[in-house]
Amino acid sequence: MLERRESYRKLYDGFRWNIPQAFNIGTAISNDWAARVPERIALFEHRAEDPLATLTYGALAQKSDALAAGLAKAGIERRDRIALLLPQCFETAIAHAAIYKLGAIAVPLALLFGSEALEYRLFTSGAVAVITNDAGFAKVFRIRDRLPALQLTVNIDGENSGARDFHKIVADNSGPFTPADTGPDDPAMMIFTSGTTGPPKGALHGHRVLLGHLPGVQFHHEFLPQERDLLWTPADWAWAGGLLNVLLPGLHLGTPVVAGRFEKFDPEMALSLMEKMKVRNAFIPPTALRMLRSVANIQARFDLSLRTIGSGGEALGRETFEWARAELGLQINEFYGQTECNLVLSSCHALHIGKPGAIGLPVPGHRVAIIDGEARPVRDGEAGDIAVLRPDPVMFLGYWEDESATRGKFIGDWMTTGDQGVRDEEGYVHFVGRDDDVITSAGYRIGPTEIEDCLTGHPKVALAAAVGKPDPIRTEIVKAYIVLREGTEPSEALAEEIRLWVRNRLSAHEYPREIAFVESMPLTTTGKVIRRIFRERAGRE
């Protein structure tokens, strides 16, 4: 917890971690509050037409206890992986709490994933159970025969052939549940992150990851919680931003969280939700903020109650920063982190910390530097790798069953991010770019390998390269360069067919919005695509 101080330096220098030897995320976000004030509201569920629904801490504790007991009866054991394929809703929070109480490992997955992306993540994680809804069940059903570890499917929309009823499990297992005696380093969740070297990797986090996030959340929300504070984000709770920047910290701090189901971000709907719910604290990724700029006369049309807005996942940019200050009357508190080690740099307007174009100063409790390839800090004004020193409570335990990739993430005790940055004379870090090929689009970090694999699965595609092309709204869009199989002629109809091929198999945010057909593919001597050539070309087009 951050104690408010009169200056950033006193806050940073005076901060000390207090990580208990025994800690369980599930009890921390439900039973701890339920034992004191069971009637306290944990979650609101915004519904466009239906009456507003609420979930108290008492109900969250009882229902997650019951679900944990039901899952245990079904054979789920400690350290088993349980996938969550759900939207923002009460059941998602209940399921997370239940999984952690079991001592099992939550594997949050986005509903927008297609069958191939789901199959890879479910198979790789060895998930023994999936908790989903009708839409997710339909996807899982198609690939279930290729998932040998999967034993149980639970559906929040009711029982059907092949899935048990979530609510019946809860109703049939009343009574308290004894949670697993977990420590801070016991695994709690696996969040898949994409890179360029190989397929997506599962970043495994311990129960301490929630405690590690608290200083960063409180910093960019200017000493959350305060009276009437209320959290909301359009970010999917399956992603680190939605789950670890909003849902779990809000529940732990006793700050109510709004669940709102949007199939895709709509700026008018987002503003209406924030007005109706009187949202005080929002995490809004830069792309969504840029989309809000399309709405005219926001202050005149919407009676907003916003106290703080945090933004991260990609560079915010000076123009959007200045627009928000003028149009919303707020300074956006930009922050930075990765799935492996999140919320380590941030701004905080309450302490006059923030600068247009900068991603912030180190959050109290985190040691961040710009280093060279020998782990030596570079001089101010020079570019280097943004790196975080271990031990750090927010840092991942390692990549799931990939010790080599885990070792490769570190130079000594410095965890390298693969992102280039520059520190200025005031200590602010400025994002420069990536030293790998990860594509940043609409707040998502997208690895090209998975896209290229999907593209080359198309019967008419021989070779493919996926790169990020600069885009004023999304930061980057995915652009694919494709060599067709012999005898195939390029056409716009074929390009559209290939776009849909990827969209249906991976997800709506990963498909190439632009496709260019090329005669040949530049390759290294080991047969790897030289993406840099296409990245430079895309920047000129």
Quick: pLDDT tens for 269-302.
999 999 999 999 999 988 888 888 888 899 999 9
- In-domain check, residue 339: no
- d(C-alpha 32, C-alpha 97), whole Å: 12
Could you give the percent of the chain with pLDDT greater than 70?
Answer: 97
- The DSSP 8-state label assigned to residue 2 in this structure reads P
Average pLDDT score over residue span 337-344: 95
- In-domain check, residue 524: yes
- In-domain check, residue 125: yes
Residue where a domain stops, chosen among 148, 167, 182: 182
Reported as a pLDDT band with limits 50, 70 and 90, residue 234 is very high
Could you give the percent of the chain with pLDDT greater than 90?
Answer: 76
Res 402 pLDDT > 60: yes
> Could you read off the pLDDT of 135-169 as tens digits, one per residue?
999 999 999 999 999 999 999 999 998 999 999 99
- HEC sequence for 437-492: CCEEECCEEECHHHHHHHHHCCCCEEEEEEEEEEECCCEEEEEEEEEECCCCCCCH
- In-domain check, residue 69: yes
pLDDT, mean over the chain: 92
- In-domain check, residue 536: yes
Reported as a pLDDT band with limits 50, 70 and 90, residue 434 is low
- What residues form DSSP beta bridges with 54? 44
Pair 313, 339: CB distance under 8 Å? no
- In-domain check, residue 434: no
Domain of 135, CATH number, reads 3.40.50.980
- d(C-alpha 423, C-alpha 411), whole Å: 20
Domain of 445, CATH number, reads 3.30.300.30
What phi and psi, each to the nearest 5 degrees, are found at residue 149? -80, -20
Q: Which of 95-104, 277-286, 287-296, 343-352 has the lowest mean pLDDT?
A: 287-296
Residue where a domain stops, chosen among 156, 182, 208: 182
Q: Report pTM.
A: 0.88
> Could you read off the pLDDT of 455-513 as tens digits, one per residue?
988 999 988 899 999 999 888 999 999 999 889 999 999 999 999 999 998 888 889 99
Give the SS3 label for residue 259. Answer: strand
What is the domain count for the chain?
A: 2
Residue where a domain stops, chosen among 167, 182, 197: 182
Q: Helices H, strands E: what count in the chain? A: 19, 27
Q: Which of 78-82, 293-297, 443-447 has the lowest mean pLDDT?
A: 443-447
Reported as a pLDDT band with limits 50, 70 and 90, residue 357 is confident
Helix axes 492-505, 115-125, angle to 10 degrees: 30
- In-domain check, residue 295: no
Res 526 pLDDT > 50: no
Q: b/e map of 223-243 (b: 16 or more CB within 10 Å)?
A: bbbeeebbbbbbbbbbbbbbb
Q: Which domain holds residue 482?
A: 439-540
> Could you read off the pLDDT of 179-199 as tens digits, one per residue?
999 999 999 999 998 644 457
Pair 192, 127: CB distance under 8 Å? no
- In-domain check, residue 218: no
